[in-house]
Structure 1
Amino acid sequence: MKLAIVEPIGINEAKCHELTEKILKNRVEVNYYNTPADDEEKIKRSQGAQAVMIANKPYKDNILMQCPDIKMLSVAFTGVDHVGMGYCRKKGIVVSNCSGYANEAVSELVMGMCIGLYRKLSECSSAVHTGKTSAGLLGMELCGKKFGVIGAGAIGLKTAALAKAFGCEVYCYKRNKPENSGYTFTDMDTILKTCDIISLHVPLNDSTKGLINSDKIKLMKKNAILINTARGPVVETQALAAALQSGSIAGAGVDVFDVEPPVSKENPLLTAPNIILTPHIGFDTKEALEKRAIIAFMNVAKWLDGMPQNVM
């Protein structure tokens, strides 16, 4: 049995060997690659492997069709929209994800973006570097603000907990309301209309693509900020950029884009005011990547035991 780790998953080779011995009990031959790969190289690296481990780069039908031995994909990521799921289901390929590994990492970035926007940290740093004072840099506090979470899954609820700890009044939206969450649940439009901060935590699928469009943004208050650490296509880029340019909303924090960074120089968010942009780092902490690797290896181990977990 062979396992091919075809792209970097945030651990070094020594850690890979440690997890192979500790979790997989050396039951499989592991081919470890810690360099990025294009589709052609991914095909080469996957040849002869029954199990393949990937991160967040595309692994679509054009790759899967060329790798007939694959029986299992361990996706070292939460979302699987970059995977050819239709093909996997058709061929009976088990796909397991690593949901939960970045709950803390993503939710902490959300709060960091909120503070960055409210306290104008980028402008403050620039003022110090250019010999200016605090003039014009009056900030705001999180405490007392209405904080809306759209997509109250594990990450959304973790974000809600942090917002509550900061003294925010938290409102949540989810299609299927969880029981005994301890938070006030309401409809999405109410959150958009009433909250000062709106944080998105929905998966990307047919129903969420373009979920936040120009009509939805028009519902937001003029002093509201929008944080997107979910998936880029959940928000219509042009609509968000236009709202920032016109001042119809106060600011935004964006960690995800329509395509993975580097972002095109033509992306209108690059010239929009009052925005914090990060190159998809929500999941990217030392602690989260270690958790992710363990889960990814456990997924393979459970599959070998005939009890696959985290199946998508």
Structure 2
Amino acid sequence: MKILFYGTRDYDQIFFDRLKPEYPDIEFTFLESNLYKETASLAAGYDGICAFVNADLGAEVIEELRHQGIRLILMRCAGYNNVDLNKTAECGIKVLRVPGYSPEAVAEHAMALVLTANRHTHKAYIKCRENNFSLNGLMGVNLYGKTAGIVGTGKIGLAMARICQGFGMKIVAYDLYPNESSGLEYVSLDRLLAISDLISLHCPLTSETHHMINKKSISRMKDGVILVNTSRGGLICTEDLITGIRDHKFWAVGLDVYEEESDFVYEDMSEYILKTSTVQRLLSFPNVALTSHQGFFTEEALTNIAETTLQNAEAFRTGIELKNEIYL
């Protein structure tokens, strides 16, 4: 079976190449180019393609993949909001994902963003490099004794809850499907917004969760709340978030994902003028810390992603149960 990998970097290829000897019947080809309408035709002659969170897997691209004979789409990530599942079903293309690679990797990065934005360590580092050792503008707040609200209690949300407990925080949680065995105190979303000092988002992006953080939900939050998002940018209405920051609603904001990232995520754009100014506006605030969708980026997570992706491919090749298939 031949698989074409779109949007790969050297660090992706390293982890898949390590596993090549275990999968002699699967041939890999790696492309740095991402998957768009213009590059979908490159899949001609392959049985399947492998894509990441920033690929275009809308109806038009999927139709072109079907035309090229593609029968399998491997998502080397957990999220699949960029995949038109109605179209893949219509075209008879199977879609498999990596439902859990390293929950701790993302949760630890979420807490790193909390600490960075709260204690201004990103700014402190720059000041010290310039021999400026003053403490002006670096005031933070204790997390100990505060309430952490975990929105979404899948594996990553539960890992974040454990980390927050380690900091001595009280935990409340919200999920459409509560995990009763978790031991967490579940409350309504409105209640979580009202009582949490830290709100951490760990839910998938769906039509129901799109812009769940908006002007109305922000107004229900405590003044001085800390907000962190390591899930999907579309969970937050960025314009309403910016208004809230300007109104001093937030003590700190940590974002690993944001709405306009798809066009340039994982790209070096330092020599370009960006088409929109959202990221620059967010970076202009002293209490905001941004990273480039790197929550998954650990040795352990990349190893697990490669292992599960190739297990998915092998299951499809051999006709066994597709445990990680995505259904409508």
Give the TM-score normalised by structure 2.
0.87
Residue by residue over 1:210-235, the C-alpha shift from the partner in whole angstroms, topping out at 9 and shown as x without a partner, is 11110100111112111011111110
Is the counterpart of residue 75 in structure 1 residue 88 in structure 2? no
Q: Is contact 1:220-1:249 (8 Å) kept?
A: no
Q: Name 1:101's counterpart in structure 2.
A: 101
**In percent, how many aligned pairs have the same letter?**
27
State the Cα RMSD in Å.
2.0
Q: How does 1:243-254 map to 2 (within 5 A)?
A: 243-254=244-255
Measured after TM superposition, the shift of residue 264 of structure 1 is 5.0
Note closer, same or farther for the CA distance 1:138–1:6 as it changes in structure 2 (3 Å cut). Answer: closer
Q: Is contact 1:6-1:42 (8 Å) kept?
A: no
Q: Name 2:21's counterpart in structure 1.
A: 21
Note closer, same or farther for the CA distance 1:45–1:219 as it changes in structure 2 (3 Å cut). Answer: same
Measured after TM superposition, the shift of residue 82 of structure 1 is 1.5
Letter in 2 for 1:249: F
Residue segments in structure 1 that go unaligned for 5+ positions in a row: none
Q: Name 2:110's counterpart in structure 1.
A: 110
Q: Is contact 2:37-2:64 (8 Å) kept?
A: no
Q: Name 2:216's counterpart in structure 1.
A: 215
Note closer, same or farther for the CA distance 1:9–1:19 as it changes in structure 2 (3 Å cut). Answer: farther
Runs of 4+ in 1 over 4 A off after TM superposition: 9-15, 262-265
Q: Name 1:60's counterpart in structure 2.
A: 58
Residue segments in structure 2 that go unaligned for 5+ positions in a row: 266-273
Measured after TM superposition, the shift of residue 136 of structure 1 is 4.9
Residue by residue over 1:82-106, the C-alpha shift from the partner in whole angstroms, topping out at 9 and shown as x without a partner, is 2222111122221111111141111
Secondary structure of the 1:63 match is helix
Q: Is contact 1:6-1:45 (8 Å) kept?
A: no
Give the TM-score normalised by structure 1.
0.92
Note closer, same or farther for the CA distance 1:11–1:135 as it changes in structure 2 (3 Å cut). Answer: closer
Measured after TM superposition, the shift of residue 17 of structure 1 is 4.2
Q: Name 1:305's counterpart in structure 2.
A: 318
Residue by residue over 1:108-166, the C-alpha shift from the partner in whole angstroms, topping out at 9 and shown as x without a partner, is 11111111122221232233234232245333222211000011111111111111111
Question: Comparing 1-10 with 238-247, which one deviates more in the overlay?
Answer: 1-10
Note closer, same or farther for the CA distance 1:134–1:272 as it changes in structure 2 (3 Å cut). Answer: closer
Which whole-Å CA distance do the structure 2 matches of 1:258 and 1:49 have between them?
Answer: 32
Secondary structure of the 1:137 match is coil
Q: Is contact 1:11-1:290 (8 Å) kept?
A: no
Q: Is contact 2:50-2:73 (8 Å) kept?
A: yes
Secondary structure of the 1:281 match is coil
Measured after TM superposition, the shift of residue 15 of structure 1 is 4.7
Which whole-Å CA distance do the structure 2 matches of 1:59 and 1:34 have between them?
Answer: 16
Is the counterpart of residue 43 in structure 1 residue 40 in structure 2? yes
Number of residue pairs aligned between Structure 1 and Structure 2: 309
